[in-house]
Amino acid sequence: MRISSRRLGVYAVALAFAIVVNFILPRLMPGSPVDAMVAQLGPRATPAAVEAIKARFGEIDQPIMMQFLDYLKGLATFDLGVSVKYYPQTVVQVLSRATLWTVFLVVTAIIFSLCVGVVLGAISAWRRGGRFDTIVSPFAVILFSIPPVIVALTSLFVFAVSLRWFPVGYAYDPNLDPGFNFTFFGSVFMHAILPVLTLSPFLVGEFQTTMRSSMIVVLGEDYVTMGRAKGLSNLAVMFGYGARNALLPVLTNLALILGAVFGGSIVTEIVFNYPGLGLTLFTASVARDYPVIQGQLLLMTMATLGANFLVDIIYGLVDPRLREAGR
């Protein structure tokens, strides 16, 4: 499917706006990276040490327009600078390590929630007004109304601290050396269960509600009636004719709530001390690490725009009417 030039223009304007806001937002925070590093030194903050820090991160004291030009030059050359908190590591190194864990967490939660939410929504629509629908649908509304921070803190206290069924934090056992073996992957799986289940209730509730509404409309279409007239089983009609065509609004909704998913992952990673982008953003904010903050916010913005762009393409491939409209 071809994306219209107007649609591409909207993405370009959104990206440009995000770049400007991404540059300005960290600089609205009080203090500077130099002040944070000097404060960390404490009594060791000799005049020579302070001058060395200013010499290394002197661009912070430059005029704002010079900083912005350096920022744009860095983006053009994929040079996001050096991290203040994790010096001498570069921003790319810091974010590359954290991105892997966040992608693993978010993608796992989305796939799990999409499967559960779509199935529950389809069955609720098929049996609307029945006992299953009257129980599941109100419960789904409750699920996406609960903030992730409450789910994270509750699950951490109940299942990790009190019952000790799961680890209290980290992405894997710190005593293990990362490697391609069952011991390491098993540890990663156990440490990811609570963070994934923390992100899932909101998504399950959202997908169930959207799928149910879309499915109810689809069940009134002629091709569903024809499927029933052919004598096909309820499962075949429900999922082959109904759920398959009701998925389009669910995909659209996924793109719209992706920003909320990233927001929930930030809280989840902080609560569980999970080494993803959320925890990295938190520690960078405390350290006034402008390069990391800028790089991460831009990365999350581009991920959200990219997901919307991908959904536009998938939507057009699934629905031939949009494919024709894009020509």
Structural domain boundaries of the chain?
5-77, 91-323
Show the tokens assigned to 281: 């953003």
Backbone phi and psi for residue 48, each to the nearest 5 degrees, phi listed first: -65, -40
Cα 70 from Cα 89, distance rounded (Å): 19
d(CA 35, CA 53): 10
Q: Where are any strands of DSSP class E within the chain?
A: none
According to the model, what pLDDT value does residue 320 have? 53
The CATH fold assigned to 91-323 is: MetI-like fold (1.10.3720)
pLDDT number for residue 36: 66
Q: Report d(CA 327, CA 316) in Å as an integer.
A: 11
User: Under a CB-based contact definition with an 8 Å cutoff, are residues 85 and 283 in contact?
Assistant: yes
Question: Do 26 and 292 touch, CB atoms closer than 8 A?
Answer: no
Cα–Cα dist 316/307, whole Å: 14
Q: How far is it, in rounded angstroms, from Cα 185 to Cα 49?
A: 43
pLDDT in tens, the chain (327 residues): 455 677 777 778 888 888 888 788 777 766 666 676 677 666 777 777 777 776 666 555 567 788 788 888 878 887 777 787 777 788 888 888 888 898 898 889 989 998 898 899 888 888 888 888 888 888 888 887 888 888 888 888 888 888 888 888 888 888 877 878 888 888 888 998 999 988 888 888 889 888 888 888 888 777 777 777 777 777 777 777 777 778 778 877 777 777 778 778 888 888 888 888 888 888 888 777 778 888 888 887 887 787 777 767 766 665 555 555 445
Tell me which residue has tokens 């509600």.
209
CA distances from 263 to 116, 149, 269 (A): 21, 10, 10
| Whether 166 contacts 173, CB under 8 Å | no
Quote the tokens at residue 125: 């629509």
Neighbours of 69 (CB within 10 A): 12
CA distance 119 to 121: 5
Query: How many other C-beta atoms can be found within 10 angstroms of the C-beta atom of residue 108?
Result: 17
Give me the pLDDT at residue 59, please: 52
Nearest to 190 by CA among 164, 226, 213: 164
Q: Quick one: pLDDT at residue 314?
A: 67
> The tokens 């999922």 sit on which residue?
239
Cα dihedral 179, 180, 183, 189 sign: positive
Phi and psi angles of residue 82, each rounded to the nearest 5 degrees, phi first: -110, 140
In terms of residues, how long is the chain? 327
Residue 229 CA: distances (Å) to CA of 110, 224, 232: 35, 9, 8
Give, rounded to a whole angstrom, the gap between the first and last alpha carbons of the chain: 8
